[in-house]
Structure 1
Amino acid sequence: MQRRMVGLGIAAVMVTTVAGCGSSSSGAAGSTSSGGNKTVQVKVGVIPIVDVAPLYLGEKKGFFSSRGIELKTVTAQGGAAIIPGVVSGEFQFGFSNVTSLMIAQSKGVPIKSVVNGVAATGVVGKDVTGVAVKKDSPVKSAKDLAGKTVAVNTLQNIGDTTVRESVRKDGGDPSKVKFVELPFDQMPAALAGGRVDAAWMAEPALTIAKGQGARVVASPFTDTDPKLTVASYFASTKLVKENPALVKKFTEAMTESLTYASAHPDEARRILTSYTKISGDALKNLTLPAWPATYDMASLEKLAGLGEKDGIFGDKKPDLDALFS
Structure 2
Amino acid sequence: MSAPRSSSSLRRRIAVAAVLGLSATTALAACGSSDDSDGDGPLRVTTLGLCNEVVYWAQEKGLFADHGVEVDLVKSTGGAAALTALQSGDIDLAFANPFSTMLAIDQGLDLKWIATAYETTTEEADAANAMVVAKDAGITDAAGLNGKTIGVNEVGGINQIVTSQWMKLTGGDPASVKFVALPFNELASAVATGKVAAAQVPAQNVDPKLGLVSLGDPYVAVGEGNGLVFAGYVATGKEAKGREKDIKAFQEALIETNAAFNDPANDDERFKIASAQCKQDAAVLATLPENIYEAKVDTDALERMGAILVDQDRLDDPPSPSDFVPSFVSTK
TM-score (norm: length of structure 1): 0.81
Alignment map for 1:9-48 (pairs within 5 Å): 13-16=20-23, 19=30, 22-30=33-41, 41-48=42-49
Question: Contact 1:21/1:87 (CA < 8 Å) preserved in 2?
Answer: no
Aligned counterpart, 1:99: 99
Aligned counterpart, 2:14: none
Give 1:60 shift.
2.6
Percent identical residues: 27
Give 1:241 shift.
1.5
The 1:155/1:43 distance shift into structure 2, 3 A limit, reads closer
Give 1:168 shift.
3.0
Aligned counterpart, 1:306: 308
The residue type paired with residue 29 of structure 1 is D
Question: Deviations along 1:270-300, whole A, 9 cap, x unmatched?
Answer: 2113333223665455443221232333332
Question: Contact 2:80/2:157 (CA < 8 Å) preserved in 1?
Answer: no
Alignment map for 1:140-155 (pairs within 5 Å): 140-155=140-155
Aligned counterpart, 1:238: 238
Question: Deviations along 1:8-35, whole A, 9 cap, x unmatched?
Answer: xxxx6234367398222234122xxxxx
Give 1:220 shift.
0.8
Question: Deviations along 1:76-96, whole A, 9 cap, x unmatched?
Answer: 233444223333443232211
Partner Cα distance (2:190, 2:197) in 1: 9
Q: Which runs of 5+ in 2 are unaligned?
A: 1-18, 327-332
Aligned counterpart, 2:199: 199
Aligned counterpart, 1:8: none
Alignment map for 1:131-142 (pairs within 5 Å): 131-142=131-142
Question: Contact 1:156/1:312 (CA < 8 Å) preserved in 2?
Answer: no
Which of residues 180, 205, 210 in structure 2 aligns to 1:212? 210
The 1:250/1:56 distance shift into structure 2, 3 A limit, reads same
Give 1:217 shift.
0.5
Worse overlay, 140-149 or 225-234? 140-149
Matched residue SS, 2:63: coil
Q: Which runs of 5+ in 1 are unaligned?
A: 1-11, 31-40
Deviating above 4 A after TM superposition, structure 1's stretches of 4 or more consecutive aligned residues are none
TM-score (norm: length of structure 2): 0.79
The residue type paired with residue 311 of structure 1 is D
Question: Contact 2:94/2:234 (CA < 8 Å) preserved in 1?
Answer: yes
Give 1:126 shift.
4.6
Matched residue SS, 1:50: coil
Matched residue SS, 1:268: helix
Count of residue correspondences: 300
RMSD: 2.7
Worse overlay, 56-65 or 282-291? 282-291
Give 1:322 shift.
1.6
The 1:118/1:131 distance shift into structure 2, 3 A limit, reads same
Give 1:216 shift.
0.3
The 1:51/1:24 distance shift into structure 2, 3 A limit, reads same
Question: Contact 2:80/2:96 (CA < 8 Å) preserved in 1?
Answer: no
The 1:157/1:91 distance shift into structure 2, 3 A limit, reads closer
The 1:258/1:234 distance shift into structure 2, 3 A limit, reads farther
The 1:43/1:154 distance shift into structure 2, 3 A limit, reads closer
1:161 aligns with 2:166: no
Alignment map for 1:1-325 (pairs within 5 Å): 13-16=20-23, 19=30, 22-30=33-41, 41-52=42-53, 54-124=54-124, 126-205=126-205, 207-208=206-207, 210-225=208-223, 226-263=226-263, 264-279=266-281, 283-313=285-315, 317-324=318-325
